[in-house]
Amino acid sequence: MEAFVGNGGTRTEQIDKAAERRGLFIRKKKLMLNQADILYIESRAKKVEIHVLDAAESIEIYAAMEALGERLGGDFYRCHRAYLVNMAHIAGYGNDSITLSNGAQVPMAKKRHKAFVEAYQNYLRNGGVSSV
């Protein structure tokens, strides 16, 4: 299993990033989540499950993965047609899966592996924080 350890980011930068909140507007409802607490998002038919750090259950909403990916920005990567992962919670990765900080394994499409490695390395180089 390959893994990269982030080369930095001060604690202040980590706290600033953790404090960032994004509003997700879904069918006239407003869902406010701390972006740093989202581990990954999984698509199931027309619903998505938002898996959040330290939550007993995932949050289930009707939404399109593409729209969520655009709203969440560059700290999230679409590693599979049904999965968006928060790069701040990546603990390691292999050719066909990503391991997150809570131990969850998320599948990675083989055709997206090379682009993922490049995106993750850019994320770390630009001050992103690794969970390793």
The fraction of the chain above a pLDDT of 90, given in percent, is 48
φ/ψ of residue 54, rounded to 5: 60, 30
Contact between residue 79 and residue 116 where contact means Cβ atoms under 8 Å apart = yes
Residue 54 has a CB neighbour count (10 Å cut-off) of: 7
Kindly report, residue by residue over 10-65, the tens digit of the pLDDT.
433 444 444 455 555 555 556 677 888 999 999 988 899 999 998 888 888 888 89
3 token code pair: 């893994």
Q: pLDDT-derived band of residue 3, with 50, 70 and 90 as boundaries? A: very low
Question: Which positions ≥6 away from 42 have C-beta within 8 Å?
Answer: 48, 49, 51, 58, 82, 83, 106
Average pLDDT across the chain, whole number: 80
| b/e 100-124 (16+ beta carbons within 10 angstroms → b) | bbeebebebeeeebeebeebbeebb
**pLDDT score of 80 more than 90:** yes
Whether the full predicted model's pTM is greater than 0.85, yes or no, is no
CA 71 to CA 95: how far, in whole Å?
27
